Each structure stands twice: as structure tokens, then as C-alpha cells.
A and B are shown apart, each in its own frame.
Chain A
């Protein structure tokens, strides 16, 4: 472990050196980076994984975007030139840039924005809108002229600006959507800084600079090439020079290997991550419809004991409930420890867990645990869960599936317990609570429960503008969700990025979805 500490120190030196530099950007070059999963779809509105965000999002613009690193983050206009929120929170007006073009040469107008948002809010039959529930408060999208879009609300929504800055709200061409609402799932056509060149499944995704991009001096790069590789190939690929970076995150061990292998060429950035690993019960299946069984399985987990050790070998690091530890709305301290699975007295918790299983009539419970075959941190998370459950006599069959098969199993309810995640681009209760709602309310919910109280609390907190009142509602939601345990967080992640020092202009945000447009990235070579 001494070795790890020494290398971590080296990494921090590299980080310090990287941040201290302020240079004039250079044009040219191709950015090569690794992506450790294959996108299940290429439709921004349907997809939820970095596997598309990293190679796919640079092709698209959105109304707003996030700028800055995780310490100095703010929302700025993207395809919009400016935006205005009415004081009562009932209207949002966006003035669009005049010179935004699609990659086929067609100008982007307010009609394209309206068609894209209509598709998100009210998806036509067969179209998946993964975050539809977040936009349910929008009453109408109006286009008074070709470069103005007005969103009128049914009721105020405290998270609305955050949602408008979602990296997933790609603007599609209205004419193409009219011809075929599934068009974005088949073809890449955006207004982003890079034009699509080719996607070879299982191999790579390439793009070239879009000369008609609305910022005349951007992008700096000639293009980029994303390589789809297994996670365990990233370190050797980066040390060998095949990739310049991987922007999801590496483990502490891999960070140290990369620093040791790349030496002075490594730049390391370590920070928080608005992402956790959680497990969801299929409440449509017995005995997981019984709250005693669900509580028993969360009570068995020694989160406080496991977190420090797992943080040395995996991306998992922090204990928290439904919101990122440290976030002002998150439950913490005694309030959190009072909830099932968060007590520091693990012996007592496990005794209670065994008792609950006995009361529920399943003292020798067998569980089919479906997990992703993305090594980090799904495999360590799965191993930890299985070990913890074994300690209360639960036998687990562990299945790790490719990303697409995993999402199919999730959609079809083909699991007892599913290892999944809350992962978002910003700390926001509305975004992070989405998976805890009923299926009727959220297309991302996998549990299948019918607890309307969660839907009601979700709505109340979403429209509460007063921060103090909103926090109380958010805490009530969290307490109820963690007591009913339709899903339960395991641990929250740490985000460690290592890239070649020649990469400049890349921003480390506390998520792996934003800062993916590569507009400001350049190569110092």
C-alpha cells in the first residue's frame, strides 16, 4: 500500500503541473480515446450510458451546457445565444444563435428545437424518451420566430434550468423527425462541432471537424477516434500510445499503473462523481414484493466497513443515500444511519436481517443477481454484495451481461435483483430520484413497484421553489424510498481521470456525461 501512496503523490504532482499551465490552443490533430462499452442505441433521447455520450455527443448541440471543472461549474448557452427565466418560473425563453447549421447544411431553427423537445416530452409510439418524466411540467413549446423558443410551464419546476442543460437533449432536424421519428436511432445528424464519419461496432467510432460549426474558431481538433475496448485494455493501450485518454474513470490501481507507465506524460485528475452503484428489486416477483425481504437484503450490507477498503481497489468510495455525499440536500449523519442498511452496528443489522427473512418465510433465500459485465465498479460491487448477502444465508446466482443485454433484462424484468446505478450530470433531486418512481411515472424505473407516495413527493419537491421547503420534501422522499427499499444505494463512486498531458482544454466535471462535446479540447503537440 506504500507503493500506492507514493504513486498517488506522483499523480497529484502531475495534476498540479497540468492545471498550472495556461497556453494558447493549437489547431489540428486527432484525439484518440478509449470507450469501455458499446452503445445500446445512438439516439440521445433514449440512451443513458457513457458508451454513447463519449463518441456520440460531440456530434450534437443542445440549448445550454455546463462549463468549468467540478469546482467552478456553471450553465452557459450552447446553441442558444441567451436565455431568460421568468421570475415566477413559468416561462423560459431562449434566443437561438443565427448561424447554427446541421451537418447536412440545413440551418437550425426554433422548429428543430421544438420538434426535439416535443419528442422528449411526448415521444411518438415506439420512441423511447428515457428522461420524459423530468419534462412533464412543460405545458407547451412555442416558436414565435425562427430563432426564439418559449417553454411555458404547467407549474414551476425547481430543476428546470438543470434539465435544459442536459447533455442528452440533442437537437434533431424537425424535417427528418417528421419523416421518421426513429431517425436519430439510425443516423447521426446534429449541429455539433464534429461530423460523423463511421461507426464500426466492436471496433471504433470516427469523426471529423465540422467546418460549418457555429463558433468560427472551433473545434481545435481535426477529429477524433473512439476505440471500443474492454476496460482491462485501457491501461496497456494508453501506456502503449494507442489512446490518449479514457474519460469515464479509472480505478486507483490503474491510475498508479498509468502514472508509472506514462511517467511525465500522465495528467491525473481526481474528484467526486454524481454516480452510485445501487441494486433494484424486481417487486413484480416473489418474495421481493415483501418489504421485509428487501429490508433484510439492505440491512446485511456493511457499507461503512466496505467503503474504505473498496476505495483502494475500485471506483467505489463513499457511503450515502439517494444523493451524492456532501450535496446540501442529502441525508447525512444520524438521519442517514437511522435508515435500514446505514447503521454502523452491522452485527445488529444482520441479526435483524435474518429475523426478517425468517418472518417472511424465506430463511434460505436464493437470488438471481443481474449485473453489467463492465468490470469497474460493477464486478467489485457484485462480489461485495454477494459476500454480504451470503453472511445472512442468502445464496446468489450472479449473471454479468453485455450492456445491451443488460438493458434488455432490465426492460423485460428478467431479474430478481439488478445492479444498476444513479448516474447523472448534476446534483439534482429530480434527476436522481427518477429511477425510484413508479413505471407509470418514469421510463427508467426498473423495480415495478406501485408506490404513489414516491410519485407525489417527487412532484411536490420538483415544483417547490423555496430551497428550505424543497429540502424537507427531498429528505422525506429519501427516507421513504430507503425504508421501502425498492432500490437501495450500495456506494458512491470516485472519478479518477488519467490522460496524456498533451490533451488540453478538457474539463473534469463530477460526471462522465457533460464536458463531452470536445469543442474546447486541443492537443499540445
Chain B
């Protein structure tokens, strides 16, 4: 009993662990705001069929170019389609394309970068020169070339080639970051130990190096989702992304919207705001995650 009492007394002196989510909110309030906005978009995307008052493709010629009203919160477009419903469903397109392409781009980049940094020598040289070539293309140009060359390839309602087109420009950037992280991790004693234990290169890269670059991976992922959403909107605006009548923010800004924006400014105002807010939120979250996960920032 005496031991227990002594233990309890000792336990009282140990500082209580604060919930990491609470710590994040306190340390990164702007990041939390970004997180809430992102969460809102996720809710809209997942619950679109319950949240949207109309089907996003429903044409209503009786309500063409109607301004915001209780029936149509954000007004209607030239076909009488409800802008709010199209925005809600547009979140689904933006997040699906944005997340999938960011995950594909970041993962490929991380594998390439880790391989490059781990092996060094000629492999490093070849990969890095390829990365240099890819980095020399402006992002939008590279994506446009890929879309134009590959055409469309619809899988489960999503254009797989559009995802490839958006993911590709992200690969070299992630590869650079993963390589620099790998170079420092590869000098660590536990990597030497793994080598001494006779582990294969694949096992060392996949089991020991990649898990240690998760922090930069997550940071880049959030930043790339924002970039991917913007790129998808840009490609759709240019007529290379999503096709009508799919609800997509970029598409809502493009095409004949330009013919009607003076008579019906809500047709471009709300999609523009949705894109801006999404990019802003993901960037806030990404920046806060970077600060939160970087040990140097905690000193």
C-alpha cells in the first residue's frame, strides 16, 4: 500500500499529456481553420446527394439565369441548373481529382526520390536529370500536353488520364524533397545496421527510409492537393479537363459562362469563391502541418 501511495504522489508530479489535437489547435489556429474548411468540403463531397437541393445536371428552362433566392441559394445558370447544387457536387470532383492526383504524384515522387538518394551514383544522376527535365516545363503546359496526348480514359466516372496529367508535374518536386530527406536518413546508424544485417535494398528503402520521410510527404501532399484542385479547374476551364454536364468548379467558370457573366454574375462568382477557398484552406493546413511537424520550429 505504501508503494502505491508513493507512486500516486509521484504520478501527480508527472506533467499531464495534452491531447495532440488540442495542442495543434492552440499552436496553429490558422491551420485549424484550414482544417475545418477542408472538413466542410469533405462533408459536401461525401454528402452531396443529401445536401444539394437539386440534381446537378437537372435542366429547368423555367428558371434560366435566375438570381440567388430561397429556391436557388446561389442562383441558376443558362440552363436553369442550380448553381449551389453544382458547387456541392463540384466539391466531389475537385477532391476526388485533387486527392487522387496528389497521392499518385507524391507517392511516385517519394519512391523516385528515396531510390535516388539511397543508391546515389549513376542511378541518382539519371533520376535527377529526368527530374530536371520535368521541372523545366511549366506545370500547366506539362499537364496540357499529357491530356492532349493521352485523351480521355474514364474509370468509375473519373478521367484517369486527367489524374495522370495533374499528378505528373508533382512527381519531380516530391522527388527532390524525398531525395534530400533520404540523403540525411541514409547516414543514420540504423540504416548501417540494416545493411549489416543483410536486408535487401528494397526492404531498407520501403521499411526504413520511406517511413522516415512521412512528415515531408504529408506536408507536400496537402500543398499538392491545393495545387491539383487549381490545376483541375484550370484544365477544365481550358476545355481539357472534365466534360459538361459534370459538376466541376473550373467548368462552371468556362465556356459560355463568359457569355452570361454580366447578366448573371453568380454563375462565376460562387465557383470562383469555392476554388479560392479550397486552395486557401489546403495551403493553410499544409503550412501549419509543416510548422507543426518540423522539430526545428518547436525549439
Contact = CB atoms under 8 A, between A and B. Distances in A.
A384 B79 CA distance: 8
A232 B258 contact: yes
Nearest to B257: A232
Nearest to A306: B61
A373 B259 contact: no
Nearest to A230: B239
B61 A386 contact: no
Contacts of A253: 256, 259-260
Given A232-B258, A400-B244, A405 B151 contact: yes
Contact of B57 (A375, A386, A397): A386
Contacts, number: 65
Interface string A228-240: 0010100100000
A383 interface: yes
A348 interface: no
B243 interface: yes
A383 B59 contact: yes
Interface in A215-264: 230, 232, 235, 251, 253-254, 257
A232 B245 CA distance: 18
Contacts of A507: none
B110 to A, nearest CB: 33
A190 interface: no
B77 to A, nearest CB: 10
Interface in B217-255: 239, 243-246, 255
B166 to A, nearest CB: 19
Given A232-B258, A254-B259, A382 B152 contact: no
Interface in A370-403: 373, 375, 379-380, 382-384, 386-387, 390, 397-400
A308 B244 CA distance: 22
Interface string A102-124: 00000000000000000000000
Contact of A379 (B80, B244, B258): B244
Interface in B56-108: 57-59, 61, 64, 78-80
B154 interface: yes
Contacts of B57: 383, 386-387, 390
B244 A382 contact: yes
Nearest to A254: B259
A382 to B, nearest CB: 7
Given A253-B260, A313-B64, A313-B78, A375 B255 contact: yes
A361 interface: no
A387 B152 contact: no
B57 to A, nearest CB: 6
Interface in B152-210: 152, 154, 157
B23 interface: no
Interface in A178-199: none
Give the bracket for the number of chain A residues in contact with chain B.
20 to 34
A453 interface: no
Given A305-B61, A373-B239, A390-B55, A257 B259 contact: yes
Nearest to A3: B263
A312 interface: yes
A254 to B, nearest CB: 6
A387 B259 contact: no
A360 interface: no
A230 B58 CA distance: 27
B186 to A, nearest CB: 47
B79 A380 contact: yes
A309 interface: yes
A398 B57 CA distance: 12
A405 B64 CA distance: 33
Contacts of A382: 244-245
B58 A399 contact: no
Interface string A474-489: 0000000000000000
B255 A232 contact: yes
B243 A398 contact: yes
A375 B244 CA distance: 10
Contacts of A380: 79, 256
Nearest to A390: B57
Contacts of A306: 61
Contacts of A390: 55, 57-58
B64 A312 contact: yes
Nearest to A260: B262
A309 B77 CA distance: 13
Interface string A298-329: 00000001101110110000000000000000
Given A309-B64, A379-B255, A386 B154 contact: no
Contacts of B61: 305-306, 308-310
Interface in A332-387: 373, 375, 379-380, 382-384, 386-387
Interface in B246-284: 246, 255-256, 258-260, 263
A232 B238 CA distance: 11
A161 to B, nearest CB: 40
Most B C-beta atoms less than 10 A away, residue of A235, A313, A386:
A313
B245 to A, nearest CB: 5
A386 B245 contact: yes
A313 B256 contact: yes
A232 B151 contact: no
Most A C-beta atoms less than 10 A away, residue of B55, B244, B246:
B244
Contacts of B260: 253
Given A313-B64, A387-B58, A390-B57, A399 B255 contact: no
A253 B257 CA distance: 11
B27 to A, nearest CB: 47
A251 B57 CA distance: 22
A399 B244 contact: no
A375 B239 CA distance: 10
B245 A383 contact: yes
Given A306-B61, A313-B64, A373-B239, A398 B245 contact: yes
A462 to B, nearest CB: 39
Contacts of A310: 61
A399 B243 contact: yes
Most A C-beta atoms less than 10 A away, residue of B55, B57, B58, B59:
B59
Contacts of A386: 57, 245
A492 B152 CA distance: 30
Given A379-B255, A380-B79, A387 B59 contact: yes
25 contacts: A232-B258, A253-B259, A257-B259, A306-B61, A309-B61, A309-B80, A310-B61, A312-B64, A313-B64, A379-B244, A379-B256, A380-B79, A383-B79, A383-B244, A383-B245, A386-B57, A387-B58, A387-B79, A390-B55, A390-B58, A397-B154, A398-B243, A398-B245, A398-B246, A399-B152
The 6 closest A-B pairs by CB, nearest first: A309-B61, A387-B59, A253-B259, A313-B78, A383-B245, A398-B243
Given A232-B256, A399-B154, 6 more contacts: A251-B259, A253-B259, A380-B256, A382-B244, A398-B244, A399-B243
Interface of A: 3, 230, 232, 235, 251, 253-254, 257, 305-306, 308-310, 312-313, 373, 375, 379-380, 382-384, 386-387, 390, 397-400, 405
